[in-house]
Amino acid sequence: MQPMQHQMMGYDRAITMFSPDGRLLQVEYAKKTVKQGSAAIGMVCKDGVLLVTDKRIVDKFIVPESVEKIFQIDDHIAATASGILSDARVLVERAQIKAQQHTVTYDSPIDTLAIVKDIANLKQLCTQSGGLRPFGVSLLVAGVDEDGPKLFGTDPTGIFFQYWATSIGEGDSDIEKIFEKEYKKEMNIEDGLKLSLKALKKTLGDDFSIVRLDCVYIKTSEKKVKRFSEGHLSKIANQSKKK
């Protein structure tokens, strides 16, 4: 048993080395890091797309407004993350530059998918290059393109998928079970926000607080990233309590 443990330890020290059963252990560890991050939700609605996230304020002396968990990439694209947020910041800043370059070069807004592919390509590169480590973060990227609202999720492997609704981070499986029962594509953004707050409340329990939430939406008609006010979030949460 002891020699086998030492053998497996060797396979998890290099990102470029597959284990005998075909796994990249460092990448799997990165995915576990994401699971330990605070919860983030993305949802496509009939009139736009929504991102809701838990900022997880760990110290009472932290100014809640200073914690940034949802990032604006372009007028019509936003992203949120779970895992190592400093890793997310690097990816987001790269995406912001790419969006700006596209606008200057082509005089038109960039597609959400182009941003997602660029982020995923860099993540993938870090799974097969010696001396690097994988990005320990998953991103949800939401945007409104010419053909409507889009939501994509990327993980540390560089894989990405398009979703109607999804969750990453703490309690993601519990949140997705709620979505399986209650999410409908016909929901508007307000209904989506109510469902997202309900799911987060069930996951966080007594730790749930409006102060630690960050929520943005992009309406199909406006194509502008906008943030929900704390007052509006409190109103929605109170309505859910009454029901």
Whole-number pLDDT of residue 9: 61
User: Phi and psi for 188 in degrees, rounded to 5?
Assistant: -90, 180
Q: What string of DSSP letters covers 76-104?
A: TEEEEEEE-HHHHHHHHHHHHHHHHHHHH
CA separation for the pair 18, 135 (Å, rounded): 18
Q: What is the DSSP letter of 39?
A: P
From the list 219, 161, 197, 168, the residue with the least C-alpha distance to 45 is: 219
Whole-number pLDDT of residue 150: 98
Whole-number pLDDT of residue 5: 52
User: Phi and psi for 153 in degrees, rounded to 5?
Assistant: -125, 135
Residues 157-202 have pLDDT tens digits of: 999 999 999 999 999 999 999 999 999 999 999 999 999 999 999 9
> Residue 194: which region, alpha, beta or left (left: phi > 0; alpha: psi -120 to 50)?
alpha
Whole-number pLDDT of residue 6: 46
Residues 33-68 have pLDDT tens digits of: 999 999 999 999 999 999 999 998 878 888 888 888
Q: Tell me which architecture the domain covering 37-242 has in CATH.
A: 4-Layer Sandwich (3.60)
The Cβ-side half-sphere exposure at 37, using a 13 Å CA radius, reads: 29
The neighbouring-strand residues paired with 70 are 80
